[in-house]
A and B are shown apart, each in its own frame.
Chain A
């Protein structure tokens, strides 16, 4: 069950929403489909409650791919990394940086098979007043080295985090934690970029909500996430 769910469909990704002549769009899309003769990108975006996690998710599906971001509670993240050898201050830094479980799949195997590639360094996190890049495994590795975190914890962190770059053959997929480097309870848009069917695709998932942190001051040490690659919104 998808639980509470909102879906909307689009054609040729979100850029079509910017076309000025809305009444022309159905005809234009049909013409492009005929001329292109390839995969027509019918985009579905949705949000709801993930059946396994019992927490909100945001999702995009197109022919050949699906991406789901499932909210993680800061206390879930604290428990996971405390059990793997991180110090409490390190755990708070991660937990208060807005973490989502990410599931990215190449689903093209049953239609038109095509390799899917992405690089998190192409993605952008946009809030009302700023934008920044993703904080990747490599960024975190530098942070843990500077903090002197134990090797066991660093290995667990590296493999738990969503890969910075990946190439999925048809049928392949990964799970992993993505860190959006925002305070708990923030809202943001995520610009996603991937390559498939010989072209670059982009889509913006809107109004994603970081879980609030309900830890009491006695059990939690505030930690300030360090922004990665700040830039103009």
Chain B
């Protein structure tokens, strides 16, 4: 019941708001559309490939790049190397990348990792419950969650996540020193 309520709020404020989301276009022509009315990101707990549980609230105080993906999805595969590079560039800045794989098991993701070097946590949403909570419609979809745990940006389709201008938008969400 509570999950349905949270999902409805996410839908109403994030996806169904209508109108044009505010956004900048980077010199590389990339966009990072803002959520018109940031709402609390639904909490979840998912295991990574080693069986270690990760709760979203474990990352409160950091910027979270939450990417929903699958190994068979062409744009997901396309953007994964740039996510790794983005993670390498931003990990010293309290910016966390989490990949949520939808509907596949650990063995399948391990096979994917034979071809793609990914060091940030890859979590398994095998029964697709978390992706439903986030009202995702298509893969890949990436949410940006600010240090207060609010959904601030929503990206549908791939991006070059190591784009300096795009990473600067993420850094701008961190508390000023």
Which residues of A come within 8 Å of B, CB atoms? Answer: 80, 84, 105, 109-110, 113-115, 151-152, 155-156, 158-160, 162-163, 165-176
> 6 A-B contacts, Cβ less than 8 Å apart?
A105-B157, A109-B23, A110-B25, A166-B138, A171-B31, A175-B74
The B interface is mostly helix, strand or loop, or mixed, namely loop
A171→B21 contact, CB < 8 A: no
Q: Which residues of B contact A151 (CB under 8 A)?
A: 127
Q: Which residues of A contact B137 (CB under 8 A)?
A: 163, 165-166, 174
Q: Which residues of A contact B21 (CB under 8 A)?
A: 115, 169
Interface size on B, residues (CB 8 A): 31
Q: How far is the CB of A100 from chain B (nearest CB, A)?
A: 14
Bound CA–CA A110/B31 (angstroms): 10
Which of B20, B23, B30, B103 makes the CB contact (< 8 A) with A159? B103
Among A156, A160, A169, A175, the most chain B Cβ lie within 10 Å of the Cβ of: A169
Q: Which residues of A contact B126 (CB under 8 A)?
A: 152
A172→B103 contact, CB < 8 A: no
Q: Which residues of B contact A109 (CB under 8 A)?
A: 23, 25, 29, 31
A160→B72 contact, CB < 8 A: yes
A152→B103 contact, CB < 8 A: yes
B20→A169 contact, CB < 8 A: yes
Q: A113-B20, A155-B103, A156-B103 are in contact. Are A171 and B139 (CB under 8 A)?
A: no
Q: How far is the CB of A134 from chain B (nearest CB, A)?
A: 15
Which of A84, A115, A155, A173 makes the CB contact (< 8 A) with B20? A115
Q: How far is the CB of B34 from chain A (nearest CB, A)?
A: 9
Bound CA–CA A175/B157 (angstroms): 8
